[in-house]
Amino acid sequence: MPEFPGRTLRIGTRASPMALVQAERAAALLRGLVPGLTTRTVPTTTSGDTWPGPLADAGGKALFVKEVDRRLQLGEVDVAVHCLKDVPGDRPLPEGLVTAATLPRDDVHDVLLAPDASPVTTLDDLPSGAGVATGAVRRRAQLLALRPDLRVVDVRGAVATRLEKLDGLRPGLDADAMVLARAGLMRLGLTGRIRRVFPLDAVLPAVGAGVLTVQCRADDDAVIALLHRADDPRTHAEATAERAMLHGLRGHCGSPVAGHCTTDESGQLTLRAAVFTPDGSRTARACLHAPARQDAAALGTRVCEALLTQGARTIIDAP
């Protein structure tokens, strides 16, 4: 990569604290691959960061990525770092952009948090009618499947803001507990707030959970070659299977869809997936295998078909 030591790689990202940490992680990985590489983070405050209401009312999770992607298309940045779960699964990438690297996956579990002074350590500790805060329809459905007597309330904003609301330091939230992604808390150094890690058979993660992707322009050969060196083949295959399933289901941010692909020591892929009604009362589940990474996309398609056979479309579209 002889052209890179003399070229600053401009890294586009959201301006949230979490996104800045994630962009620096990608930058550090790339600097480790190319001695002498210089990087500069270019933050953008996106519509998703400022929209106060439900995402589905304003275009879905594309709100978190479209302004950053637009700057990439215009040549104002060289790459864009995104949480894969924020990249819409029901539409192609913007024109002229490609995903050139899928970074090694972080922890995929969801976790339970409680106010600092609360004795709550598990979901079972919460009384009937207690409020649990989450911004994800997938979590809402699975929490209600576990505890239909709970009151699930919506929460938005940066992690620090959510925690301040949970602790009563900010107004606007009436909740006794909160569910967040463990990976995000790890990136922010906030794992001390975790009371309980949900096992995967209780709360299945989001498609793309714990995965960062790096996009660039399709005609930028030098950047593509650099990013390919950072790509993690295992995570790439697992994410491919999950996203193929989500795409087949036409899943979006308002769809209670969960999926998690793993790779065993022999290289075999296993994809577990589920869809839920918003209240968690109905579900369809599937678990299938594929012998190798090159079969990842086909595995996702087969799991999608298995879910559709069980009525997944009706379940997803339930009011």
∠249-252-253 over CA atoms, to 5°? 145
Q: Which of 69, 78, 86, 107 is catalytic?
A: 86
Chain centroid offset of residue 286 CA: 20
Q: How far apart are CA 49 and CA 158, in angstroms?
A: 8
Residues 6+ apart with CB under 8 A from 22: 13, 81, 83, 187, 212
The number of residues making up the chain comes to: 319
- Strands annotated E in the chain: 8-14, 38-44, 79-83, 97-102, 110-113, 131-134, 151-154, 177-181, 194-197, 212-217, 257-263, 269-276, 283-290
Could you tell me which of 220, 219, 311 has the C-alpha nearest to residue 274?
Answer: 311
| C-alpha separations of 176 from 130, 139, 171, 173 in Å | 6, 16, 14, 9
Could you tell me which of 240, 22, 206, 174 has the C-alpha nearest to residue 110?
Answer: 206
Q: How far apart are CA 243 and CA 297, in angstroms?
A: 8
Residue owning tokens 């009604």? 277
One-letter amino acid identity for 272?
Answer: R
One-letter amino acid identity for 126?
Answer: L
Residue 39 exposure: Cα atoms within 13 Å on the Cβ side? 25
| Burial of residue 154, with CB atoms counted within 10 A of its CB: 0-12 exposed, 13-18 middle, 19 or more buried | middle
Contact 288, 306 (CB under 8 A): yes
86 is catalytic: yes
Q: Which two tokens stand for residue 150?
A: 């709970």
Q: Which residues are catalytic?
A: 86
